[in-house]
Structure 1
Amino acid sequence: MTTVTPEARKTTSVPPSSGDFDARQPQTIRLYPVSNYTFDTKEAQPEEDPSVQARLQRLQQHYEQYGLRRTCEAILVCHEHGHPHILMLQIANAFFKLPGDYLQPHEDEIAGFKRRLNERLAPLSSSSYSADQHTDEWEIGDTLAQWWRPNFETFMYPFIPPHVSRPKECKKLYLINLPKHKVLSVPKNMKLLAVPLFELYDNSQRYGSQLSAIPQYLSRYNFEFVDENDVVIGVSPALNH
């Protein structure tokens, strides 16, 4: 017969309630499974610049003619097995980026951002998918981060350094509220991957400082996970009092 010591009873007993801890909660975002989304392909979209130096040179030309360059990128969130995943593009099996790009000078921010998302992810007009998929509609949510490029260099910061009065580029990361179903058409030279938050977190060596910070940006929200039948299968955080 096995004897249970008082110490063992303490470790297996249910802990006392710690009280409510849900004041001033942010909005709850409903996440749909990645299997709800249809991934199609379209013509390749080569990078505009053959090298990093060429890209920075084009940035300098833009700044001299138009001033600050405005860039918008999308954080698209879905879930798999009840854990948030971010849809991001992979180029050449090594480089990761969020959908989006820089805006044209004097272009409306939101309209220009939607145009860029359509260029990158919307099916072609000749696609066999019906118009009722609303492929040209994007629900632009909160601005989750702003990154600043102080000089014509690769480094960007989540703040403007004190000695910089005229940054050269501002990149804004927006939360995009994905609908229940959507067709996403990816250029042939890219892959669209669903990357879990636990893979991104504190992994700047692989994803860079901007992408690896996404879990911190999303920690302000509560999530509701649903299945293919729109049935809630879990929530996060799930605090047991």
Structure 2
Amino acid sequence: MKWFTISTSRHDTNKVVCGTHPLGGMPTNCRRRRRRSATALHDPNSGNDDQSLEFDIYPLSSYYFGSKDAFPSKYLTSADRVLRMKSNYAARGIRTCVEAVVLVELFKHPHLLLLQIRNSIYKLPGGRLRPGESDTDGLKRKLARKLSIIEDGDGSEWEVGECLEMWWRPDFETLVFPCLPPNVKQTKECIKVFLVKLPESRKFIVPKNMRLLAVPLCQVHENHKVWTKKIHLHGKYLGCSDK
């Protein structure tokens, strides 16, 4: 498993405001800017700065946010969800899901884009792979379906980068772990998290029964009671600091 750090390079400083921002209506004091932030991901254990992955993140105000028809509701109770997972596992074996870490800049601080469902569930954009589908193709398909106006496109507008981490579900319960427990021989689900780099501007079109939130990494790290364990640990692994 890889452990990553994220750092935002700055030539000036400003107060960091930690607060969740629903997208669609922009904050009144957030003006359109073209300045970009240079961001680096690296493995602290490698001891080699050449292994760093540097990329740009752009201001939230550079992007347009709209809505489209709501997705059909798939609400399931915990018991129903377990039964469905058992049925799918018996038919297809291990379930593989892919998720995207998408970062934007707001108030000079990296923010993580999360989907909010039914006002209580927060998820990284992504979903389950189809049989035989590659990680990259599957993630592009899911991003196009949930965040683009053209749902059945080829997903070429999404740049899927490096796999940041993998999570494992050893049984049919809700808990996932960043490493496979040694006593588990047949895991039930594997979740792969990829970095998705954004262009300088683009349109995000979100189903009406979902909300796209920009959450500062400091809040993701600190509010472990709000976010799931997996999302909370993104804020820990992607520790941010201004240079």
TM range (shorter): 0.7 to 0.9
SS of residue matched to 1:157: coil
- Partner residue, 2:49: 24
1:101-146 per-position Cα deviation (integer Å, ceiling 9, x unaligned): 1111222221111111111111147xxxxx9xx9752111111111
- Partner residue, 2:121: 95
In structure 2, relative to structure 1, the CA distance for the partners of 1:82 and 1:216 (3 Å cut) is same
CA distance in 2, matches of 1:135, 1:205: 34
User: Unmatched 5+ residue regions in structure 1?
Assistant: 1-21, 126-130, 222-235
Work out which of the residue numbers 115, 128, 140 in structure 2 matches 1:114.
140
Q: Which has the higher helix share?
A: 1
Work out which of the residue numbers 174, 194, 215 in structure 2 matches 1:154.
174
Q: After the TM superposition, list the runs of 4 or more consecutive aligned residues in structure 1 that deviate by more than 2 angstroms.
A: 46-50, 215-219
Check the 8 A contact 1:89/1:190 in 2, yes or no: yes
User: Which entry has the higher C-alpha Rg, 1 or 2?
Assistant: 1
- Partner residue, 1:60: 86
Q: Which amino acid aligns with 1:139?
A: E
Question: Is 1:75 matched with 2:113?
Answer: no
In structure 2, relative to structure 1, the CA distance for the partners of 1:135 and 1:68 (3 Å cut) is closer
Work out which of the residue numbers 213, 218, 225 in structure 2 matches 1:198.
218
Check the 8 A contact 1:49/1:55 in 2, yes or no: no
- Partner residue, 2:191: 171
SS of residue matched to 1:156: coil
CA distance in 1, matches of 2:81, 2:156: 29
Superposition RMSD in Å: 2.3
Q: Alignment identity in percent? A: 37
Q: How many residues align?
A: 196
Check the 8 A contact 1:69/1:168 in 2, yes or no: yes
In structure 2, relative to structure 1, the CA distance for the partners of 1:187 and 1:136 (3 Å cut) is farther
In structure 2, relative to structure 1, the CA distance for the partners of 1:61 and 1:23 (3 Å cut) is closer
User: Unmatched 5+ residue regions in structure 2?
Assistant: 1-46
| TM-score of the pair, normalised by structure 2 | 0.74
| TM-score of the pair, normalised by structure 1 | 0.75
